[in-house]
Chain A
Amino acid sequence: MSGTEHPLSPHAFSADPEVGADLAAVDWAATPLGDPGQWPQSLRTAVSILLSSRFSMWMAWGPELTFFCNAAYRRHTLHEKYPWALGRPASEVWAEIWDDIGPRIDTVLSTGEATWDEGLLLFVERSGYPEESYHTFSYSPLHDDDGALIGMLCVVSEDTEQVIGERRMRTLRDLGSDPTVARTEQEMLLFTSRQLGRNLGDLPFTLTYLFGDDGRALLAASTGIDSDHPATSPDLWPAGRAAAGEPAVVELTGKAFTGLPSGDWAEPPTRALVLPLLQQGGAPYGFLVTGLNRYRPFDDGYRGFLELAAGHVAAGIASARSFRAQQRRAEELAELDRAKTTFFSNISHEFRTPLTLIMGPVEELLARRATADDEVRAELEVIHRNGLRLGKLVNTLLDFSRIEAGRMQARYEPVDLSAVTAELASAFRSAIERAGLTFDVDCPVLPEHVHVDLGMWEKVVLNLLSNALKFTFDGGVRVTVRADGADAVVTVTDTGVGVPADEMPRLFERFHRIENARSRSNEGSGIGLALVQELVRLHGGTIAAQSETGSGTSFTIRLPFGHAHLPEYTEVPAGPATPLSANADPFLQEALRWLPSQDGPVPEPGPVAGSAPTTGASVLVADDNADMRDYLTRLLRSAGYRVVAVVDGRYALEAARADTPDIVVSDVMMPRLDGLQLVAALRSDPRTAGTPVLLLSARAGQEASIEGLDAGADDYLFKPFSAAELLARVRANVDLARLRNHHARWRTALIDSLQEAFFVCDESGAIIEINSAFTDILGYGPEGLPYLPVHPWWPDRDTDADGHQAVADAFRMLLGRPTGSYTIPVVHRDGRRLWAAAAFNQVRDPDTGRRVIVGTFRDVTAEQHAVQRDSALAALGLRLSEAENVDGALTAVLAELREIWQATHVLAAVFSDADNPALTCTDPTVNWDNLPEQRRAALLALRARPVLTPVTEDHTGTGITLGHPAGTMVLWIEAGPARPFSAPDETLLALLAGHLGQGLNRIHQIDQQRETALALQRAILGPDRLPSGFAVRYEPATRPLKVGGDWYDTIELADGRIGIVVGDCVGHGLEAATVMGQLRSACRALLLRDSSPARTLMSLDVFAAMLPGAACATVFCGVLDPGTGQLVYSSAGHPPAIVGHPDGSTHLLDQGRSRPVAVRTGSERPEAEYTVPARATLLLYTDGLVERRRQPLSSGISRVSAAVQRGLGTPIEDLATEIMDRLIPDNGYDDDVAVLLYRHPGPLDLEFPAESGRLAPVRSALRGWLERCGIDPATTQNILVAAGEACANAIEHGHRDSPGGRIRLRAAATAGDLRLVVSDTGVWRNPDPAANPYRGRGLTLMRAFMQAVTVTSGNTGTIVDMQARIL
């Protein structure tokens, strides 16, 4: 390469146009390097390498180490120094770091050895300030043309982002790494300070301030700065903004900020960032001040890092404070617990003396049988039992205080734990079995003795058994003792109500009772299990519980064998233990009282003669304590009341709703439903709202009574109460209520007498009062009141979404409007679906002043069925009328039936002859073979039944038999859950099935007509096979017929010419089609006899005159020479044919025109001649294509001409579709349309054996076709060579291994394009140029002579697709 180079754009600079241009602009003459035109080759090469490298590089050259750099270096490192730096001495360019890099460059230039530095910190001034930056670079020597050292090249990558990013990440990681979960605030601040203090690069100093209770900021921690530095004063920082959660940047100017520490850097920060220490959902804890590294920009990355660091500090404070709060709460609770125990044990002690003085005399009285009559004796037993219970409670509390005080004196003795435990358990057997539970005690002999204090162990076992009995209603209780290693394991398992998971942690907690658990008694203090745990602990053992709600609870106690674990063990010889009964008795007595009395329900004694007046009033007594219940019953009966006694609030509510008493006397504390809840429930039910309630409670005090009266109780009595007081209160309340309820009873009677259902609903939509007709219609009685929305009679949301929605809408109206009416589907309690027509009014309750809604409704199911039947019939009729054939009708009707009955699915089995019917189902996965055997049998049985007689199989569905055009059809409706079949449904089904049978037969007839018409159409519309180059379309105006009055036809004449006819008979539909068919046949026959279009039409005139309906048909008749494109034509009143020329112009064939057919028979018809040019498109059509209402025909013809014009380059078949689509009116064609398209010449299609001898004739045929296409000789020659090569390849490659294969050559032309496809059935081999160096030239020639060549080779053959543009 030689030549003169322009001095101003030396070749060396051209590698990078941009930097090159700036280099070219340097005044090189002023540098030691001089004019670039004179630069030595070595320099030019070095500059060229530099500029073309995409790696960041700079270089220094010559005596002054003149500076060059490339675009990457400019972008990564140089920044603002560009382009100033170009051509300057390197020492000037990098003056600020020359102390660092100068010596390295000297070393390179003096030794000729390269240097390598990794991550070197350099303070570069490229953005207006010294900037902390890190670089990894190598300096390598450069030599001049003579080989002397003349400069150096630096390849550099900047690591600043990476180094700083890692440093920050390390700090954040360390801040988040503290493994201790909870710690004090002080420890946490020390920890974060340690981490923040390790990064003096990004955090030259930090100050952490926390807000005190008074809102003042106090310095809590600092890093990098002495805590007595003046800058630590909180007043210097914008604490107010931080308290509001806003960050702030503070300029560090002023006296207080002198002498700030500089961290890792030479100079201290000039700015600091103040970030709030944010508290989730509260005011910030404080704020964090960080001095900013002045050598880094304060960008988003830096700010983000500081915010994350502050976030870590804030999170630490949050966890420390929440830990502190939790700890404090736990301490307070423990203190409270201790105080409670102390209090109870103190007063318990005081109970012992009076108890002893009660129990002693009572036992003595009981022992004196003679003196006691039965009644007195019974009362004494009550006293005795309750004395025992009180004593047990007191003893337990005393045990606790002893354990607490460490004064529990245990007497451990070696015992056979199995035997002891089994004996204790046996004491409970009768109680457990009486409760109807099984009791399983499985205590085999253990290998060793266990040391226990028998008194304590008894309490453990009895408490657990008592507990098990209390909470178990079905199943049983099981006690087992086993040896497991060094332990004896005792389990007490029940199948009771279980303990909810969230209560498990507090199970052994003192005074903790599980709320709302179903139990045999509400009695209990919540300390039994706590005591058990303490006692087991005293034995060096453990107790654990496992429970599942609803399945039961299991307690497992582990006691070690031997006595090594008992520190204060003193051997006590095994001696006679305290008689068991003394300890077990209180437990047993208590348990027995929970169980139903053996006598059954409390018997109702006759009125006591001579005692209090017989009022006849009824009293409902509810108390879970059997003694109290019995006492109240006796007392009230003796006063002449009728008494029903129940054990809890739930039973009380049921009893009151079933038979409203005159008064309810109820305890407050009861399991399941307590007294207050009972009052609330009674008050919310209109029937019991007026029933007086007298509450009894052991809880004394004003507050308790106010609570009771607040809930709606009429009166309140504290225990203990006197018999006289109770009776007085009961009498007063009954009398008062009778007076008050007189009107209410009258109203109830009135409402109940209504024929229509009546209801009252409150503002929330709850039904609070109903009458008996309501219950009769819906099945829901007053005992279930109130009925809260969603009411139980609403249709199910999932299975009957529409019904549910209808009711929901009506419900909204009910609540929202002052008055109205609606008809809705509802579900009877027994699952039946009903229709209810309701009317409602809003009124104000005179008693409460609240708004209520009063409504009535009646059962309109029968009327609704009539409406439904009519609409179902209409829907069925619509489906039948829309269907095009029998199968389509059946599918649509099944879907409709499924909709009507909301069935799971509906199927139709048509039995034509065999037993395997044709099955149609709304569920497409169902077929005859996968139907359950039972269902198949049912369908076969139905087939034999008389038609139109529905058969309902219980709950599964309903079937019916009807006539189908192909045989007997069985229709089966698989019942859905929402819509059981009722008698009216069966009637409706029979009706619908009748209509369906008729409908199907009618459709079948139409079907057959249509089949006939289709056959006719196929016969008369047009030829089966079109000559090549033609495309046709036909669109009838009338559906479902697919024939009409228009037609097209092509006739291959004997001389090789083709007759083409497009005609249009008057009218459309089947009638016009029959005329059309005859005209078409006539025209065809006439053309075959005489190929003159004019004479053909004249003969047709004669024929048509004799054919009714044929007159006035229009016909275009032409004869085309496919070789030359010459067309002779004559038109009988037909719209002109359109010719689209390859150059884009269009021409109308509007010569040779005369009147429509048979208008003036015998007159001459003209004939015209036209030569269709090569690659032109000819379109014949009927007026349906162009005629539009209120538009001249000419505008339609222009539209079609435009469509032809647009489609000149489109293959003819595609063009036919395109024209039909493009011209379709908005509502579809309203007249028949026939279209015939021809492109001249028609495509060439040759098939020949794969033999080289066939190439010449093929070539000859192709040459002739190309000539007809009007292709010039030079292009023709090119195409011949390309086609010849493709055929030669097919012979040579495709059929080398399978001689006798065939090759197909197809060619088609559009206005501007020519497409050739050569296909063979062989497998091509990749050309092997070494084997035949000249053969590969074939493909090259194809590609050279054609615009596009695609070769697709597969297992079935190879297709060469070539395209050439023709101009």
Chain B
Amino acid sequence: MTTALSLTNGPGTVLTAAGEIDMSNADTFAAALTSAVTLASGSPLTVDLTAVQYLDSAGLAALFAHADHIEVLTGPILAPLLEISGLNELATVRWA
């Protein structure tokens, strides 16, 4: 069931993640996020998490760090988490 994290950069300003994000791979995710935000150079980066089956507080931390510069795309699995963590108050969270 557990799937490894895979990251895909864009077309354009999109970062797509799939699989599970926990403290074991949160650093990878954070690095990808940072470089994608940098590349987007000012224009909002869309982070597509619809294919992510698990996200923990380490992954959330990476998202919070770039909250001002990202738009998060989520499916039903992560939606409650993003709401409870308060990310939707700092960043735009859209349902896919």
Contacts and interface: CB of A to CB of B under 8 A. Distances in A.
A1215 B57 CA distance: 38
A1277 interface: yes
Interface in A1272-1293: 1273-1274, 1277-1278, 1280-1281, 1284-1285, 1288, 1291-1292
Interface in B53-96: 54-58, 60-61, 64-65, 76-77, 80-81, 84-85
A1338 B22 CA distance: 12
Nearest to B77: A1277
Nearest to B26: A1252
Interface string A875-898: 000000000000000000000000
A1286 to B, nearest CB: 10
A1337 B54 contact: no
B77 A1291 contact: no
A1264 interface: yes
B61 A1284 contact: no
Given A1252-B24, A1255-B22, A1260-B1, A1280 B54 contact: yes
Given A1281-B54, A1341-B57, A1344-B84, 13 more contacts: A1252-B22, A1253-B24, A1255-B24, A1260-B2, A1264-B1, A1274-B76, A1277-B80, A1280-B54, A1288-B58, A1291-B23, A1334-B64, A1338-B56, A1340-B84
Interface of A: 1252-1253, 1255-1257, 1259-1260, 1263-1264, 1273-1274, 1277-1278, 1280-1281, 1284-1285, 1288, 1291-1292, 1332-1335, 1337-1338, 1340-1341, 1344-1345
Most B Cβ at <10 Å: residue of A1256, A1338, A1340: A1256
Most A Cβ at <10 Å: residue of B23, B60, B81: B23
B20 A1292 contact: no
A1284 B20 CA distance: 12
B1 A1288 contact: no
A630 B22 CA distance: 127
Contacts of B64: 1333-1334
B24 A1334 contact: no
8 contacts: A1256-B24, A1257-B2, A1274-B80, A1281-B54, A1333-B61, A1335-B61, A1337-B57, A1338-B57
A1334 B56 contact: no
A1256 B60 CA distance: 17
A1288 B56 contact: yes
Nearest to A1278: B80
A1284 B56 contact: yes
Main secondary structure of the interface of A (DSSP, over half): helix
Contacts of B20: 1256, 1259
Contact of A1341 (B23, B24, B77, B84): B84
A1277 B79 CA distance: 11
Contacts of A1284: 22, 54, 56
Interface of B: 1-2, 20, 22-24, 54-58, 60-61, 64-65, 76-77, 80-81, 84-85
Nearest to B19: A1256
A1281 B2 contact: no
Q: Which 8 A-B pairs have the closest CB atoms?
A: A1334-B61, A1252-B24, A1256-B2, A1260-B2, A1337-B57, A1344-B84, A1252-B23, A1338-B57
Given A1259-B20, A1292-B23, A1337 B80 contact: no
A191 to B, nearest CB: 82
Contacts of B58: 1288, 1334
Contacts of A1292: 23
A1253 B20 CA distance: 12
A404 B24 CA distance: 120
Contacts of B80: 1274, 1277-1278
A563 B22 CA distance: 116
Nearest to B55: A1281
B1 A1337 contact: no
A1050 to B, nearest CB: 29
Most A Cβ at <10 Å: residue of B58, B60, B61: B58
A1273 B75 CA distance: 13
A1338 B26 CA distance: 14
Most A Cβ at <10 Å: residue of B1, B56, B60, B65: B56
Contacts of B56: 1281, 1284-1285, 1288, 1338, 1341
B53 to A, nearest CB: 8
B23 to A, nearest CB: 5
Contacts of A1257: 2
A1278 B57 CA distance: 13
A1339 to B, nearest CB: 9
A1264 B2 CA distance: 11
Contact of B2 (A1259, A1333, A1334, A1338): A1259
Contacts of B84: 1340-1341, 1344-1345
B11 to A, nearest CB: 29
Contacts of A1338: 56-57
A1337 B85 contact: yes
Contacts of B65: 1334
A1341 B22 contact: no
A1179 B81 CA distance: 39
Contacts of B76: 1274
B55 to A, nearest CB: 8
A1017 B65 CA distance: 65
B61 A1337 contact: yes
Nearest to B85: A1337
B9 to A, nearest CB: 24
Nearest to A1253: B24
Most B Cβ at <10 Å: residue of A1264, A1288, A1291, A1334: A1334
Contacts of B81: 1277, 1281, 1341
A1332 B85 CA distance: 16
B30 to A, nearest CB: 11
A1335 B22 contact: no
B1 A1341 contact: no
A1280 B57 CA distance: 12
A1267 to B, nearest CB: 9
Contacts of B22: 1252, 1255-1256, 1259, 1284, 1288
Nearest to A1343: B84
Contacts of A1335: 57, 61
Contacts of B2: 1256-1257, 1259-1260
A1033 to B, nearest CB: 37
B25 to A, nearest CB: 8
Most A Cβ at <10 Å: residue of B1, B57, B77: B57
B24 A1285 contact: no
Contacts of A1273: 77
Given A1274-B80, A1281-B81, A1341-B85, A1334 B23 contact: no
Nearest to B3: A1256
Contacts of A1281: 54-56, 81
Contacts of A1333: 61, 64
A1292 B56 CA distance: 14
A3 B92 CA distance: 33
B79 to A, nearest CB: 9
